[in-house]
Every structure is written in C-alpha cells, then in structure tokens.
Amino acid sequence: MADVKRAIENVEPWNDPQAQPYVRIENVTKMFGEFTAVDSVSLEIYKAEVFCLLGGSGCGKSTLLRVLAGFETPTSGRVLIDGVDMAGIAPYERPTNMMFQSYALFPHMTVENNVAFGLRQEGIAAAEISKRVGDMLDLVKLGPFAKRKPHQLSGGQRQRVALARSLIKQPKLMLLDEPLGALDKKLREETQFELINIQEELGVTFIVVTHDQEEAMTLSSRIGVMNAGEIVQTGTPNDIYEYPNSRFVADFIGSVNVFEGRIVEDQPDHVRIESQEAGCPLYIDHGVGVTSGSRVWVAVRPEKIEITRDKPAQQDNCAAAVVDEIAYMGNQSIYHVLLESGKKLRITRPNQSRTSSDSITWEDQVFVAWHPSSGVVLTA
C-alpha cells in the first residue's frame, strides 16, 4: 500500500525545531475507577497533520479521542488546541468535531439537514447554510442524495455524510474514530484516498483512531502506537515499520520474525548476537549500546529474508531450513520454514514471473539469509 500522504507532503514539522505544535496533549491520564484507560500520554501534533492513534481494542485510543472532544474529563494533565487550554470547555464549545465510529447520523433528518445541523447551531443565515451544505455535499459526491434519510443510504454513503457533517464546521481539529471500520475492504481502500484528498484540500488537522495498521500506514503522516493506555512509539509509518522500538510494536505493525539472543559483541557500528533459536550467529550493522551478555531480540521482516536452494556465501544471518507450508496469495507467496532449532519463520516473496521452473516446494531443504541491515535489535 502506497504511502499517499508522504508522497505529496515533504515537510516534516516534527523535525523542525522552529515549528509550533497545533495540538498539545500534556501528561493526560484518564481513570475509570481503579482502571487507567489513558496513562500519562503526551503528544504534539502539528497543523494539517494526519495523526493516527493505533492500537488494539481497549488500549485507550478511543478514550483519548473522547478526552480531546470533551466527552471525558482527564483525571490529570491538559489538552491545548491552538494554544488554548481546553479544561472546562464543553464539547459544544470546542473547536473540534468528531466523526463517530457508528457515524451517529440523526435518523429523523435528511442528509441535507444532518450536514446543516452544525451550521444551524452557529446562527448562520439560511442562504449561506444552504450554499455551504450544497458545496460540501458536492465535495463528498452526495449532491443527488440530499433529500434522503440516513437509512436509505449505503454504508459508504453514510460514512461520507458523517464526514461532511463534521467537516462543514471547519474545525481546527477533526477527530475520526475508526472512520473506515464499517466499510468493506474494497470500499475502504477507495475511501482512504478520498479521505486524504479531502483533508488536503481543506487543510484540516486530523486525529484518526484505528486498530487497522494498514489504514494507519496509508492515512497518516505520523502514527502513535498505543498499548495499555500508553503511547509506546511515535513516528512516521516508515519509522514505525522499519525501526520499531519494542517487540510489541514490531509485532503489532505487520508481521515479523523475532529471534531471542544474547549480545556477544557490541560496537558502535555493529553488533553480534548469539541466538539458539536462529541457529547461526546474527550480525546487525548498527550498535545498540547495552552490556555484553544482555538478553535482546532481533526482529526481521518476512519480506527481507531470502530463500534459496544453494548455500549462500555469508556465514552470519544464514541458516538451513525445511519448507513447511506455502501459501500462494497471487501477488506474493508466503513460506513457512522450520529452522533446525524448531523455530518457524515466515518469509514472503513476490511472484514476479508467472511460472518458475525451479520453484521451491514443500519439504525442500533450503537456506534462509538476510542482509546485516535488515535486522533490528530490540531490547524490550
């Protein structure tokens, strides 16, 4: 999946020390009784960013979003939007608008009235409201459906009504709770691009909550991975995927092979790791800065592992294996191979040609190998 966002935007305000964050979340904690839903989260989000909060269910991402919308009061910490402290500001007075996971369209109102609802609260003249509603419905391609009721629309159309209804208020901060969650796969992919196009056209700052890592990768300028109420890593999709800082992140984003091992040699430019699971010395071309002998994990992505019949020349990062299972996916094949230690590896290879005369098949003796730059050493 292409990273649409990054192709268009080359500016990275989070790397610019001069840039002022637009939304500041400072040590926000939210407790429900004894349960800590959000655990001292701090984030800085810049204008016109699409920031994804990614995590499994119950990780606190939706609660954090509700804190931003004003539906939940943080137990401690504060939220600033465009420099204004949001403490004590009711949801109906906040410069935020939320798109609900269930869309929460008003069932007794037409599409038009749903979209106009926000503007009517501001006391804007009827003529201007109808003009802006018309423009907004054109933007989300719902012009012909203006007079329909929500139950007469398809899932994708309802999603766009919900988007239009929130966007028409021109919020400083738009909050989207699983915006594509209720759509089927094909529609979701189309809508992802549409959503980003609209976001760029209007320049609104988005905070998107999702449990779908693919959605997060596609939509976001940056991702905050959450687990058990805490932000475990923040970074661009590329950072998160290629340089995860923990086994949790490595495993949550995409699939990964993890070898447990011990540091044998730690230099600034490389490390050597001894791993029983891998059955071969592991060599990685970056330093870690931990004491020799400490327990670490090496993560290698399935697509970065080569699979060959002949033994490669390299000694490190190379092991003998037996093919256990092959799954043909069309564009790629997934191989499950068993190392001598009994460890199962997942390897993906693109199917570049239609047929292969010497294709690897079940029970074949093979060698797996990867480049020193492919592995990532994880200490947690």
Residue 97 touches another protein, criterion: CB under 8 A: yes
Residue 122 touches another protein, criterion: CB under 8 A: yes
Stretch that binds another protein, among 115-123, 217-225, 252-260, 334-342 (CB under 8 A): 115-123
In whole angstroms, give the CA distance from residue 40 to residue 55.
16
| Residue 91 Cβ vs another protein, minimum distance, rounded to whole Å | 4
Stretch that binds another protein, among 34-42, 79-87, 116-124, 330-338 (CB under 8 A): 116-124
Which of 2, 7, 90, 125 is close enough to bind another protein by CB under 8 A?
A: 90
Alpha-helical (H) ranges within 15-56 are none
Residues near 290 by Cβ (< 8 Å), separated by ≥ 6?
A: 263, 266, 296, 379
In the DSSP assignment, the letter for residue 94 is: S
Stretch that binds another protein, among 28-36, 90-98, 287-295, 297-305 (CB under 8 A): 90-98
In the DSSP assignment, the letter for residue 197 is: H
Closest of 372, 330, 321 to residue 348, by C-alpha: 330
Name the phi and psi angles at 279, rounded to 5: 75, 15
| Residue 264 Cβ vs another protein, minimum distance, rounded to whole Å | 55
Please list every residue from 29 through 88 that binds another protein, using CB under 8 A. Answer: 69-71
Which of 166, 213, 233, 317 is close enough to bind another protein by CB under 8 A?
A: 166
Quick one: 132 or 262, whose CB is closer to another protein?
132
In a 10 Å sphere around its CB, with 0-12 CB exposed, 13-18 middle and 19+ buried, how is residue 372 labelled? middle
In the DSSP assignment, the letter for residue 31 is: E
Which of 41, 43, 50, 98 is close enough to bind another protein by CB under 8 A?
A: 98
Distances (CA, A) of 346 to 51, 309, 316: 30, 17, 19
Residues that bind another protein (CB under 8 A): 69-71, 90-94, 96-98, 100, 102, 104, 106-108, 117-118, 121-122, 149, 151, 165-166, 169
